[in-house]
Structure 1
């Protein structure tokens, strides 16, 4: 190695942000192993690289003893004092043992170490970039697929989209562009692993932020999301400005904003409902598009009994209970739905029928 090599390390430090001293320390450590391996040496050695010229020297380190038992590791007091008279017992003496052709080994080792450190630094930069983007939306290009994953090119890294995290009936081909939600970023020996999803409720929230300027600006707020990916979702919104209609802003002119999101999610139906700090009103809104006659709250059980018109009962419950289930997830309340005629026939002490409970996995986004 020479001064040009040191200059290259200086340039690398500026461009990649990798400290020259850290690189040289790593090269020195690697050269110790290289020396022992190539010259079959069991000595304790130290490798020194001159920070200015790049010159490499190898020193054997020996302990000063009265009686030498292992000449590879020890040196007598008399021999040590021939080198320098100040040496005492148990001092460490360094004797240069640089081989004649060590420069070739040093150059090869340095190249390997620098390449490895650059790769590690780049992986670290990518990891730091994407760990800050967890729970964010990204657009990538499908590169390949196997039995478990779609492999998505995000530019500097390839991410994993589990097939189980795609929408029902959704199929991608090579070079397809796809919007996904980053659920997790992990470190691994091969670099950062990034996991994606198209079924996570967070994707729906981020899509609304992209399509609705009022949400991006903070005028309209998404208070909660419940989703059965590929089928139906509910989004609760609230306006911080009384002059701005939160639901209208999300729907957009002639429904263009919400339709863009529906198209992105392969026709998934989306109910946009108005959030309210009045719990009765909030629960009634959550059952949209069904009309509600009355809501009775049971605070201790966190249950709500809802009365709907007879002809609206099936709409309120939804196909296979979907509308009621999504409303329960959205509000985080158990909801008992009864028709008007049913409520008039008998008095129910505690709600039992058509009640949807919330699992721990279905909390607010």
Structure 2
């Protein structure tokens, strides 16, 4: 039996990558359960010590020394006592399984001195039959307990990754959900966290943001996202050495997942261009990042403490003529030439929207020589123009 259990420990540690200490703790619990079933008594608080080096088993009954309990009173006196006790704080009840009265302890060990709270370990005999009976029972309990332990360890591992970016492999679609394998756990990508138009084909690898991890009776429930801004930030850190080293700092990000994003970068180093370092030679770095986000368009702009310069940069690639800031109401009044209006607004008004989100200012765009146009009207006007362009005149019959 001893050799079999020792071999089982080594096998479990190697196959399931579980610390040996955890396996031994589970084994001792299993052996205590086996002893209790066949040789234990009702009020015994059993603990087993197993020595993996020798395979020897020791069984103990653990008790904590408690005060002597009052003997039962006659009915009338008991009624009075109960009435008085209801007005006082209820004391902790005596548990004969885990506690022993101090007078009883002194009877069992007359040569020892005890005080309240002392622990008494009484070694119990281990019958020769226990070895044969324990082997099968212990194995069954070990397997069950190890499943629970493995589940808990997996949950703790993923809970620690909550709020971080990881790599996963698409398994399959299940209705609107996409099932993704992350470290041998099936994570869920709900439809509202998917990038529109992105193909999640089986076997493809993507970067995912872990939104939430919840415990279940089996493996943890892991909810992931492809839309979270942290994915873009993570890619900047992994693809741009100047960002990972801290030479270039990402100040702010505004993003419409899968379509377009604006990233404001900053450096305190005089001889370093933060925008050029982020884009890379011939745009290779930013193209690599975009490829990991369904070819999302990424505008890298230089962050400025001067708000006027920052707002102007945020509207790039459009060039503006003038800019006035209403810092109290967080409004930026911008003038641009006619040929720059479409660039400033962007398709579906996205350039203007992202610039506002990035700077924290509502941008009121005005064409030179015309009245100002609020952001909402600008977007509506551009959508209308695009719609009119697409509508063809009816052909005569």
TM-score of the two chains, using structure 1 as the length reference: 0.73
Residue 182 to residue 23, structure 1, CA distance change in 2 (3 Å):
closer
Structure 1 residue aligned with 2:189: 161
1:124-165 CA-partner distances (Å, limit 9, x unpaired)? 555555555444433222223212432222334333333432
Residue 216 to residue 103, structure 1, CA distance change in 2 (3 Å):
same
Structure 2 residue aligned with 1:254: 282
Contact preservation (8 Å) 2:248, 2:274: yes
Q: Is 1:107 matched with 2:135?
A: yes
Structure 2 residue aligned with 1:46: 46
Structure 1 residue aligned with 2:116: none
How far did residue 24 of structure 1 move?
5.4
Where does structure 1 lack aligned partners over 5 or more consecutive residues?
357-365
Cα distance in 1 for partners of 2:29, 2:48 equals 10
How far did residue 292 of structure 1 move?
1.4
What's the RMSD between the two structures over aligned residues? 4.4
Structure 2 residue aligned with 1:2: 2
Cα distance in 1 for partners of 2:32, 2:7 equals 23
Cα distance in 2 for partners of 1:226, 1:120 equals 43
The residue correspondences of 1:227-306 to structure 2 (distance < 5 A) are 227-306=255-334
Deviates more, 1:43-52 or 1:133-142: 43-52
Q: Secondary structure at the match of 1:341?
A: coil
How far did residue 198 of structure 1 move?
1.5
Give the count of matched residue pairs: 338
Cα distance in 1 for partners of 2:56, 2:305 equals 73
Contact preservation (8 Å) 1:18, 1:121: no
Where does structure 2 lack aligned partners over 5 or more consecutive residues?
72-95, 113-119, 378-397
Cα distance in 2 for partners of 1:93, 1:180 equals 53
Deviates more, 1:95-104 or 1:216-225: 95-104
Contact preservation (8 Å) 1:32, 1:45: no
How far did residue 39 of structure 1 move?
8.2
How far did residue 4 of structure 1 move?
6.8
Structure 2 residue aligned with 1:353: 374
How far did residue 168 of structure 1 move?
0.9
Cα distance in 2 for partners of 1:19, 1:233 equals 48
Residue 95 to residue 167, structure 1, CA distance change in 2 (3 Å):
closer
Contact preservation (8 Å) 1:316, 1:324: yes
1:248-286 CA-partner distances (Å, limit 9, x unpaired)? 222222222222222222232221111111001101111
Q: Is 1:326 matched with 2:347?
A: no
Q: Is 1:226 matched with 2:226?
A: no
How far did residue 224 of structure 1 move?
1.0
